[in-house]
Amino acid sequence: MSAAVLLRGGRVIDPSQGIDRVMDVAVRGGRIAALGEHLAAEPGAEVWDLAGKYVCPGLIDLHGHWYEGSAFGIDPLLCLNHGVTTAVDAGTAGFVNFAEFRRSRIETSPVRVLAFVNIAALGIPSNLTGELEDLRHARPAETAAVIQANLDVVLGVKVRQGTMVAGHGREVMQRTLAAARECRVPVMVHISRGAETTHILRQLRPGDIVTHCYQGRGDGLLEGGALLPEALAARHEGVLFDVGHGCGSFRWETARKAFEHFFLPDTISTDLHRYSVERWAIDLPTTMTKFLHLGMPLSDVIRKTTLEPARAMRRDHGLGTLRPGAPADVCVFDLEEGEFPLEDTHMKTETARRRIRPFRVLRAGEVIRPGSLSAPLRPLNGADREVLEFVERSAKEADG
Ligand SMILES: [Zn+2]
Protein backbone atom coordinates (compact mmCIF):
# COMPACT_ATOMS: atom_id res chain seq x y z
CA MET A 1 0.00 0.00 0.00
CA SER A 2 1.33 3.45 -0.90
CA ALA A 3 2.46 5.85 1.81
CA ALA A 4 0.47 8.73 3.27
CA VAL A 5 1.53 12.10 1.88
CA LEU A 6 0.57 15.59 2.94
CA LEU A 7 0.95 18.15 0.14
CA ARG A 8 1.23 21.36 2.10
CA GLY A 9 0.74 24.93 0.95
CA GLY A 10 0.71 24.57 -2.85
CA ARG A 11 -1.71 26.51 -5.04
CA VAL A 12 -4.36 23.90 -5.77
CA ILE A 13 -6.12 24.19 -9.13
CA ASP A 14 -8.96 21.71 -9.45
CA PRO A 15 -11.60 22.89 -11.95
CA SER A 16 -13.83 19.91 -11.06
CA GLN A 17 -14.46 21.54 -7.66
CA GLY A 18 -14.00 25.17 -8.68
CA ILE A 19 -10.85 25.37 -6.53
CA ASP A 20 -7.97 27.75 -7.27
CA ARG A 21 -6.27 28.72 -4.01
CA VAL A 22 -3.49 27.82 -1.60
CA MET A 23 -4.45 24.78 0.46
CA ASP A 24 -3.32 21.32 1.60
CA VAL A 25 -4.10 17.94 0.06
CA ALA A 26 -3.85 14.75 2.12
CA VAL A 27 -3.33 11.39 0.40
CA ARG A 28 -3.78 8.01 2.05
CA GLY A 29 -4.17 4.44 0.79
CA GLY A 30 -3.84 5.52 -2.83
CA ARG A 31 -6.76 7.94 -2.58
CA ILE A 32 -7.34 11.61 -1.90
CA ALA A 33 -8.15 11.69 1.82
CA ALA A 34 -8.85 15.39 2.43
CA LEU A 35 -8.51 18.92 1.12
CA GLY A 36 -8.35 21.92 3.40
CA GLU A 37 -6.33 24.59 5.08
CA HIS A 38 -3.74 23.67 7.70
CA LEU A 39 -4.41 19.93 7.62
CA ALA A 40 -2.55 18.01 10.31
CA ALA A 41 -0.05 15.42 9.09
CA GLU A 42 -0.90 11.95 10.28
CA PRO A 43 1.86 9.97 11.99
CA GLY A 44 4.35 8.58 9.47
CA ALA A 45 3.09 10.72 6.58
CA GLU A 46 5.57 12.30 4.18
CA VAL A 47 5.11 16.06 4.23
CA TRP A 48 5.92 18.09 1.13
CA ASP A 49 6.28 21.83 1.51
CA LEU A 50 4.94 23.14 -1.80
CA ALA A 51 4.95 26.89 -1.22
CA GLY A 52 5.22 28.57 -4.65
CA LYS A 53 4.26 25.39 -6.51
CA TYR A 54 1.03 24.28 -8.15
CA VAL A 55 -1.03 21.16 -7.47
CA CYS A 56 -3.61 19.80 -9.90
CA PRO A 57 -5.27 16.45 -10.67
CA GLY A 58 -3.02 13.99 -12.55
CA LEU A 59 -3.05 15.09 -16.18
CA ILE A 60 -5.09 13.25 -18.79
CA ASP A 61 -3.74 13.00 -22.33
CA LEU A 62 -6.72 12.26 -24.56
CA HIS A 63 -4.68 11.39 -27.65
CA GLY A 64 -1.55 9.23 -27.90
CA HIS A 65 -0.43 5.87 -29.30
CA TRP A 66 0.50 3.22 -26.76
CA TYR A 67 0.19 -0.13 -28.54
CA GLU A 68 3.65 -1.32 -29.47
CA GLY A 69 2.37 -3.91 -31.94
CA SER A 70 2.17 -0.87 -34.24
CA ALA A 71 5.05 1.13 -35.72
CA PHE A 72 3.46 4.17 -34.05
CA GLY A 73 3.21 2.79 -30.51
CA ILE A 74 5.45 3.73 -27.58
CA ASP A 75 5.52 2.71 -23.92
CA PRO A 76 2.98 4.76 -21.93
CA LEU A 77 5.30 4.65 -18.90
CA LEU A 78 6.87 7.75 -20.46
CA CYS A 79 3.75 9.68 -19.46
CA LEU A 80 4.53 9.58 -15.75
CA ASN A 81 7.66 11.62 -16.48
CA HIS A 82 5.30 14.32 -17.76
CA GLY A 83 2.71 14.42 -14.97
CA VAL A 84 0.26 12.40 -17.06
CA THR A 85 -1.48 9.67 -15.03
CA THR A 86 -4.15 8.71 -17.60
CA ALA A 87 -3.08 8.10 -21.20
CA VAL A 88 -5.70 7.51 -23.88
CA ASP A 89 -4.80 5.44 -26.90
CA ALA A 90 -6.39 6.95 -30.00
CA GLY A 91 -7.11 3.83 -32.03
CA THR A 92 -3.71 2.25 -32.50
CA ALA A 93 -5.38 -1.18 -32.38
CA GLY A 94 -8.51 -2.51 -34.09
CA PHE A 95 -10.81 -5.43 -33.36
CA VAL A 96 -8.18 -8.00 -34.43
CA ASN A 97 -5.36 -6.92 -32.12
CA PHE A 98 -7.18 -5.12 -29.31
CA ALA A 99 -7.11 -8.19 -27.01
CA GLU A 100 -3.33 -8.33 -27.34
CA PHE A 101 -3.01 -4.60 -26.62
CA ARG A 102 -5.17 -5.03 -23.55
CA ARG A 103 -3.23 -8.04 -22.24
CA SER A 104 0.26 -6.73 -22.96
CA ARG A 105 -0.07 -3.09 -22.05
CA ILE A 106 -3.41 -1.79 -20.74
CA GLU A 107 -3.44 -4.34 -17.90
CA THR A 108 0.25 -4.06 -17.05
CA SER A 109 1.17 -0.37 -17.28
CA PRO A 110 1.54 1.68 -14.09
CA VAL A 111 -0.13 4.45 -16.10
CA ARG A 112 -3.91 4.21 -16.47
CA VAL A 113 -4.44 3.43 -20.15
CA LEU A 114 -7.87 3.75 -21.78
CA ALA A 115 -8.49 3.39 -25.48
CA PHE A 116 -10.50 4.05 -28.59
CA VAL A 117 -10.77 1.03 -30.90
CA ASN A 118 -10.02 1.80 -34.54
CA ILE A 119 -12.74 1.00 -37.09
CA ALA A 120 -9.90 -0.48 -39.21
CA ALA A 121 -9.34 -4.16 -38.38
CA LEU A 122 -5.66 -3.78 -37.42
CA GLY A 123 -5.79 -0.18 -36.23
CA ILE A 124 -2.83 1.71 -37.67
CA PRO A 125 -0.07 -0.90 -38.05
CA SER A 126 2.38 1.33 -39.96
CA ASN A 127 2.63 4.25 -42.32
CA LEU A 128 3.44 2.06 -45.35
CA THR A 129 -0.18 2.05 -46.53
CA GLY A 130 -3.32 3.79 -45.32
CA GLU A 131 -5.27 1.55 -42.93
CA LEU A 132 -8.51 2.00 -44.90
CA GLU A 133 -7.27 2.16 -48.47
CA ASP A 134 -9.05 -1.20 -48.69
CA LEU A 135 -12.56 -0.77 -47.38
CA ARG A 136 -12.74 -4.43 -46.38
CA HIS A 137 -10.80 -3.48 -43.24
CA ALA A 138 -13.73 -1.43 -41.88
CA ARG A 139 -15.95 -3.88 -39.95
CA PRO A 140 -18.57 -2.26 -37.71
CA ALA A 141 -20.05 -5.47 -36.23
CA GLU A 142 -16.71 -6.92 -35.11
CA THR A 143 -15.53 -3.53 -33.85
CA ALA A 144 -18.71 -3.10 -31.82
CA ALA A 145 -18.39 -6.59 -30.33
CA VAL A 146 -14.84 -5.87 -29.09
CA ILE A 147 -15.93 -2.54 -27.64
CA GLN A 148 -18.89 -4.14 -25.83
CA ALA A 149 -16.60 -6.77 -24.33
CA ASN A 150 -14.08 -4.15 -23.09
CA LEU A 151 -16.22 -1.23 -21.93
CA ASP A 152 -14.20 -0.97 -18.69
CA VAL A 153 -11.23 0.35 -20.69
CA VAL A 154 -12.67 1.34 -24.08
CA LEU A 155 -14.05 4.83 -24.66
CA GLY A 156 -15.23 4.78 -28.26
CA VAL A 157 -14.43 4.27 -31.93
CA LYS A 158 -11.51 5.97 -33.70
CA VAL A 159 -11.24 6.77 -37.37
CA ARG A 160 -8.58 8.64 -39.34
CA GLN A 161 -9.93 10.65 -42.27
CA GLY A 162 -7.61 11.86 -45.03
CA THR A 163 -5.47 10.15 -47.62
CA MET A 164 -5.48 6.95 -45.51
CA VAL A 165 -9.10 6.24 -46.53
CA ALA A 166 -8.29 6.64 -50.24
CA GLY A 167 -11.60 8.23 -51.22
CA HIS A 168 -13.77 5.95 -49.07
CA GLY A 169 -14.28 8.69 -46.46
CA ARG A 170 -18.08 8.80 -46.50
CA GLU A 171 -18.57 5.04 -46.35
CA VAL A 172 -15.92 4.79 -43.61
CA MET A 173 -17.71 7.50 -41.61
CA GLN A 174 -20.99 5.59 -41.87
CA ARG A 175 -19.40 2.37 -40.67
CA THR A 176 -17.66 4.18 -37.80
CA LEU A 177 -20.93 5.74 -36.66
CA ALA A 178 -22.73 2.40 -37.00
CA ALA A 179 -20.26 0.76 -34.59
CA ALA A 180 -20.50 3.71 -32.19
CA ARG A 181 -24.32 3.72 -32.23
CA GLU A 182 -24.43 0.02 -31.52
CA CYS A 183 -22.34 0.49 -28.32
CA ARG A 184 -23.55 4.00 -27.42
CA VAL A 185 -20.04 5.39 -27.36
CA PRO A 186 -18.53 8.48 -28.98
CA VAL A 187 -16.33 8.54 -32.05
CA MET A 188 -13.00 10.33 -32.32
CA VAL A 189 -12.30 11.55 -35.86
CA HIS A 190 -8.82 12.55 -37.01
CA ILE A 191 -8.97 15.20 -39.75
CA SER A 192 -6.02 15.61 -42.08
CA ARG A 193 -5.39 16.64 -45.67
CA GLY A 194 -7.79 14.79 -47.93
CA ALA A 195 -10.60 14.61 -45.35
CA GLU A 196 -14.09 15.81 -46.34
CA THR A 197 -14.17 17.93 -43.23
CA THR A 198 -17.47 19.74 -43.78
CA HIS A 199 -19.22 16.45 -44.48
CA ILE A 200 -17.67 14.86 -41.39
CA LEU A 201 -18.70 17.76 -39.15
CA ARG A 202 -22.32 17.42 -40.32
CA GLN A 203 -22.37 13.74 -39.36
CA LEU A 204 -21.07 14.10 -35.82
CA ARG A 205 -23.21 13.86 -32.71
CA PRO A 206 -22.97 15.50 -29.26
CA GLY A 207 -19.95 14.05 -27.43
CA ASP A 208 -18.13 12.99 -30.59
CA ILE A 209 -14.57 14.33 -30.81
CA VAL A 210 -12.68 15.98 -33.68
CA THR A 211 -8.93 15.72 -33.17
CA HIS A 212 -6.16 17.79 -34.83
CA CYS A 213 -8.36 20.89 -34.61
CA TYR A 214 -5.42 23.27 -35.32
CA GLN A 215 -3.75 21.31 -38.09
CA GLY A 216 -2.57 23.61 -40.87
CA ARG A 217 -2.03 21.08 -43.64
CA GLY A 218 -5.32 21.62 -45.48
CA ASP A 219 -8.90 20.35 -45.04
CA GLY A 220 -8.93 21.67 -41.46
CA LEU A 221 -11.48 23.81 -39.64
CA LEU A 222 -10.46 27.09 -41.29
CA GLU A 223 -10.87 28.11 -44.88
CA GLY A 224 -9.37 31.38 -46.15
CA GLY A 225 -8.84 32.55 -42.57
CA ALA A 226 -12.48 31.96 -41.61
CA LEU A 227 -13.88 29.16 -39.50
CA LEU A 228 -16.10 26.70 -41.30
CA PRO A 229 -19.73 27.38 -40.33
CA GLU A 230 -20.03 23.60 -39.90
CA ALA A 231 -17.38 23.73 -37.15
CA LEU A 232 -19.35 26.34 -35.21
CA ALA A 233 -22.60 24.42 -35.72
CA ALA A 234 -20.96 21.19 -34.55
CA ARG A 235 -19.59 22.87 -31.41
CA HIS A 236 -23.02 24.33 -30.74
CA GLU A 237 -24.43 20.78 -30.93
CA GLY A 238 -21.89 19.51 -28.38
CA VAL A 239 -19.18 18.07 -30.64
CA LEU A 240 -15.78 18.40 -28.92
CA PHE A 241 -12.55 19.70 -30.45
CA ASP A 242 -9.20 18.23 -29.38
CA VAL A 243 -5.67 19.45 -30.14
CA GLY A 244 -3.74 16.22 -30.98
CA HIS A 245 -0.46 18.07 -31.64
CA GLY A 246 1.49 15.16 -33.20
CA CYS A 247 4.11 15.65 -35.89
CA GLY A 248 1.90 17.44 -38.39
CA SER A 249 -1.10 18.86 -36.59
CA PHE A 250 -0.26 22.01 -34.67
CA ARG A 251 0.36 25.26 -36.49
CA TRP A 252 0.76 28.53 -34.59
CA GLU A 253 -0.93 30.45 -37.40
CA THR A 254 -3.96 28.14 -37.49
CA ALA A 255 -4.37 28.19 -33.71
CA ARG A 256 -4.09 32.01 -33.62
CA LYS A 257 -6.72 32.44 -36.34
CA ALA A 258 -9.04 30.06 -34.52
CA PHE A 259 -8.45 31.97 -31.27
CA GLU A 260 -9.39 35.23 -33.06
CA HIS A 261 -12.76 33.58 -33.63
CA PHE A 262 -12.81 32.47 -29.94
CA PHE A 263 -12.53 28.88 -31.12
CA LEU A 264 -10.56 27.43 -28.20
CA PRO A 265 -9.92 23.70 -27.79
CA ASP A 266 -12.13 21.58 -25.51
CA THR A 267 -9.18 19.31 -24.69
CA ILE A 268 -5.41 19.69 -25.06
CA SER A 269 -3.57 16.50 -26.05
CA THR A 270 -0.21 15.48 -27.50
CA ASP A 271 -0.73 12.72 -30.10
CA LEU A 272 2.54 11.26 -28.86
CA HIS A 273 3.78 8.34 -30.95
CA ARG A 274 7.11 6.96 -32.24
CA TYR A 275 7.40 9.69 -34.88
CA SER A 276 6.11 12.75 -33.02
CA VAL A 277 8.26 11.88 -30.00
CA GLU A 278 11.32 11.78 -32.27
CA ARG A 279 11.17 15.23 -33.76
CA TRP A 280 9.05 17.40 -31.46
CA ALA A 281 9.25 17.76 -27.70
CA ILE A 282 5.50 17.51 -27.38
CA ASP A 283 5.04 16.03 -23.95
CA LEU A 284 1.77 17.27 -22.43
CA PRO A 285 3.30 20.02 -20.22
CA THR A 286 5.04 21.43 -23.32
CA THR A 287 1.82 21.31 -25.32
CA MET A 288 0.02 23.01 -22.41
CA THR A 289 2.77 25.64 -22.32
CA LYS A 290 2.00 26.45 -25.98
CA PHE A 291 -1.59 27.25 -25.00
CA LEU A 292 -0.45 29.44 -22.09
CA HIS A 293 1.71 31.23 -24.65
CA LEU A 294 -1.35 31.69 -26.89
CA GLY A 295 -3.00 33.54 -24.01
CA MET A 296 -5.14 30.92 -22.28
CA PRO A 297 -5.29 31.36 -18.49
CA LEU A 298 -3.49 28.65 -16.48
CA SER A 299 -6.72 27.44 -14.87
CA ASP A 300 -8.25 26.85 -18.34
CA VAL A 301 -5.16 24.98 -19.51
CA ILE A 302 -5.50 22.73 -16.43
CA ARG A 303 -9.24 22.32 -17.00
CA LYS A 304 -8.62 21.14 -20.57
CA THR A 305 -6.14 18.49 -19.42
CA THR A 306 -8.09 17.25 -16.36
CA LEU A 307 -11.84 17.87 -16.06
CA GLU A 308 -12.67 18.28 -19.76
CA PRO A 309 -10.95 15.09 -21.00
CA ALA A 310 -12.50 13.22 -18.04
CA ARG A 311 -15.92 14.47 -19.19
CA ALA A 312 -15.17 13.60 -22.81
CA MET A 313 -14.37 10.07 -21.59
CA ARG A 314 -17.52 10.01 -19.42
CA ARG A 315 -15.22 9.22 -16.47
CA ASP A 316 -15.47 12.51 -14.58
CA HIS A 317 -16.94 10.86 -11.46
CA GLY A 318 -13.48 9.52 -10.52
CA LEU A 319 -10.85 10.95 -12.89
CA GLY A 320 -9.47 14.45 -13.41
CA THR A 321 -10.42 15.47 -9.88
CA LEU A 322 -8.92 15.86 -6.40
CA ARG A 323 -12.25 15.15 -4.71
CA PRO A 324 -11.79 13.11 -1.50
CA GLY A 325 -12.23 9.43 -2.35
CA ALA A 326 -10.89 9.78 -5.90
CA PRO A 327 -7.70 7.89 -6.87
CA ALA A 328 -4.66 9.90 -5.71
CA ASP A 329 -3.52 10.88 -9.20
CA VAL A 330 -1.83 14.24 -8.69
CA CYS A 331 0.55 16.48 -10.62
CA VAL A 332 2.70 19.03 -8.77
CA PHE A 333 4.36 21.53 -11.07
CA ASP A 334 6.36 24.71 -11.25
CA LEU A 335 5.47 27.63 -13.46
CA GLU A 336 8.96 28.67 -14.52
CA GLU A 337 9.84 32.04 -15.99
CA GLY A 338 12.47 32.46 -18.68
CA GLU A 339 12.74 32.10 -22.44
CA PHE A 340 11.47 28.84 -23.84
CA PRO A 341 11.56 28.23 -27.61
CA LEU A 342 8.57 26.21 -28.81
CA GLU A 343 8.35 24.85 -32.33
CA ASP A 344 5.11 24.06 -34.17
CA THR A 345 4.87 21.26 -36.74
CA HIS A 346 5.64 23.74 -39.52
CA MET A 347 9.11 24.58 -38.16
CA LYS A 348 8.02 27.95 -36.78
CA THR A 349 9.46 28.73 -33.37
CA GLU A 350 7.96 31.15 -30.86
CA THR A 351 9.44 31.98 -27.49
CA ALA A 352 7.27 31.50 -24.43
CA ARG A 353 8.00 33.42 -21.21
CA ARG A 354 6.54 30.81 -18.87
CA ARG A 355 6.49 27.06 -18.89
CA ILE A 356 4.85 24.27 -16.95
CA ARG A 357 7.41 21.89 -15.46
CA PRO A 358 6.31 18.80 -13.47
CA PHE A 359 7.94 18.54 -10.04
CA ARG A 360 6.29 15.48 -8.47
CA VAL A 361 3.63 13.04 -9.60
CA LEU A 362 1.38 10.73 -7.64
CA ARG A 363 -0.24 7.82 -9.44
CA ALA A 364 -2.72 6.08 -7.14
CA GLY A 365 -0.61 7.43 -4.28
CA GLU A 366 2.73 6.12 -5.62
CA VAL A 367 5.34 8.86 -5.71
CA ILE A 368 7.13 9.47 -9.01
CA ARG A 369 9.92 11.93 -9.73
CA PRO A 370 9.32 13.28 -13.25
CA GLY A 371 12.14 12.32 -15.58
CA SER A 372 13.25 9.39 -13.41
CA LEU A 373 11.48 6.65 -15.36
CA SER A 374 13.17 4.99 -18.29
CA ALA A 375 10.96 4.05 -21.25
CA PRO A 376 13.37 3.32 -24.11
CA LEU A 377 12.11 3.94 -27.64
CA ARG A 378 12.51 1.20 -30.23
CA PRO A 379 15.31 1.92 -32.73
CA LEU A 380 14.30 3.53 -36.01
CA ASN A 381 14.49 1.48 -39.21
CA GLY A 382 14.63 2.54 -42.86
CA ALA A 383 10.85 2.72 -43.17
CA ASP A 384 10.67 4.94 -40.08
CA ARG A 385 13.29 7.30 -41.50
CA GLU A 386 11.22 7.62 -44.69
CA VAL A 387 8.21 8.57 -42.57
CA LEU A 388 10.21 11.23 -40.74
CA GLU A 389 11.62 12.64 -43.99
CA PHE A 390 8.09 12.76 -45.41
CA VAL A 391 6.84 14.61 -42.32
CA GLU A 392 9.53 17.27 -42.65
CA ARG A 393 8.93 17.65 -46.40
CA SER A 394 5.18 18.09 -45.93
CA ALA A 395 5.72 20.68 -43.22
CA LYS A 396 7.87 22.74 -45.57
CA GLU A 397 5.51 22.28 -48.53
CA ALA A 398 2.49 23.39 -46.52
CA ASP A 399 4.49 26.46 -45.60
CA GLY A 400 5.54 27.36 -49.13
ZN1 LIG B 1 -2.94 10.11 -33.42
Query: Is the per-residue pLDDT at 279 higher than 80?
Result: no
Give the pLDDT score at 290. Answer: 97
- Computed over every residue of the chain, the mean pLDDT equals 95
Query: Is the per-residue pLDDT at 267 higher than 50?
Result: yes
Contact at 8 Å (CB) between 284 and 59?
A: yes
CA of 56 from ligand 1 middle (Å) equals: 25
Give the pLDDT score at 392. Answer: 86
Rounded to an integer, the average pLDDT of 101-108 is 98
Long-range contacts of 125-131, Cβ-Cβ distance < 8 Å, separation of 24 or more = 125/69, 125/70, 125/71, 126/70, 126/71, 126/72, 126/383, 127/71, 127/72, 127/275, 127/383, 127/387, 127/390, 128/383, 130/163, 130/164, 130/165, 130/166, 131/94, 131/160, 131/164
CA of 256 from ligand 1 middle (Å) equals: 22
Contact at 8 Å (CB) between 170 and 143?
A: no
Alpha carbon distances (Å) from 85 to 24, 59, 222, 241: 20, 6, 33, 21
CA of 393 from ligand 1 middle (Å) equals: 19
Give the pLDDT score at 292. Answer: 98
CA R_g for the chain: 20
CA of 264 from ligand 1 middle (Å) equals: 20
CA of 228 from ligand 1 middle (Å) equals: 23
Alpha carbon distances (Å) from 186 to 142, 305, 314, 365: 17, 19, 10, 31
CA of 173 from ligand 1 middle (Å) equals: 17
Q: Please return the burial class of 224, using the count of CB atoms within 10 Å of its CB with bins 0-12, 13-18 and 19+.
A: exposed
Rounded to an integer, the average pLDDT of 75-103 is 97
Q: Please return the burial class of 341, using the count of CB atoms within 10 Å of its CB with bins 0-12, 13-18 and 19+.
A: exposed
Interatomic CA distance for residues 35 and 24, integer angstroms: 6
CA of 65 from ligand 1 middle (Å) equals: 6
CA of 263 from ligand 1 middle (Å) equals: 21
CA of 41 from ligand 1 middle (Å) equals: 43
DSSP letter string over 95-129? TTTHHHHIIIIITT-SSEEEEEEESBTT----SSS
Q: Assign 261 a pLDDT band (cuts: 50, 70, 90).
A: very high
Rounded to an integer, the average pLDDT of 172-201 is 97
Contact at 8 Å (CB) between 109 and 312?
A: no
Interatomic CA distance for residues 198 and 165, integer angstroms: 16
CA of 18 from ligand 1 middle (Å) equals: 31
CA of 202 from ligand 1 middle (Å) equals: 22
Query: Is the per-residue pLDDT at 102 higher than 90?
Result: yes
Contact at 8 Å (CB) between 259 and 296?
A: no
Give the pLDDT score at 3. Answer: 75
CA of 124 from ligand 1 middle (Å) equals: 9
CA of 354 from ligand 1 middle (Å) equals: 27
Share of the chain above pLDDT 90, in %: 92
CA of 72 from ligand 1 middle (Å) equals: 9
Give the pLDDT score at 397. Answer: 73
CA of 272 from ligand 1 middle (Å) equals: 7
CA of 267 from ligand 1 middle (Å) equals: 14
* pTM confidence score: 0.97
Secondary structure letter of residue 248 according to DSSP: T
pLDDT tens, 120-160?
A: 999 999 999 999 999 999 999 999 999 999 999 999 999 99
Query: Is the per-residue pLDDT at 350 higher than 60?
Result: yes
The H or E element that residue 333 is part of is strand 330-343
CA of 90 from ligand 1 middle (Å) equals: 6
Interatomic CA distance for residues 314 and 10, integer angstroms: 29
Q: Where are the alpha helices (DSSP H) in the chain?
A: 98-101, 140-149, 169-183, 197-203, 229-237, 252-260, 276-279, 284-293, 298-303, 307-312, 382-399
CA of 4 from ligand 1 middle (Å) equals: 37
Give the pLDDT score at 1. Answer: 54
CA of 191 from ligand 1 middle (Å) equals: 10
CA of 392 from ligand 1 middle (Å) equals: 17
Q: Assign 399 a pLDDT band (cuts: 50, 70, 90).
A: low
CA of 270 from ligand 1 middle (Å) equals: 8
CA of 331 from ligand 1 middle (Å) equals: 24
CA of 292 from ligand 1 middle (Å) equals: 23
Query: Is the per-residue pLDDT at 201 higher than 50?
Result: yes
Query: Is the per-residue pLDDT at 400 higher than 50?
Result: no
CA of 271 from ligand 1 middle (Å) equals: 5
DSSP letter string over 14-78? EGGGTEEEEEEEEEETTEEEEEESSPPPPTT-EEEE-TT-EEEEPEEEEEE---TTSTT---GGG
Beta-bridged to residue 356, according to DSSP, are: 335
CA of 141 from ligand 1 middle (Å) equals: 23
Domains and CATH numbers, the chain: 5-56+325-337+348-368 (2.30.40.10), 59-312 (3.20.20.140)
Query: Is the per-residue pLDDT at 104 higher than 60?
Result: yes
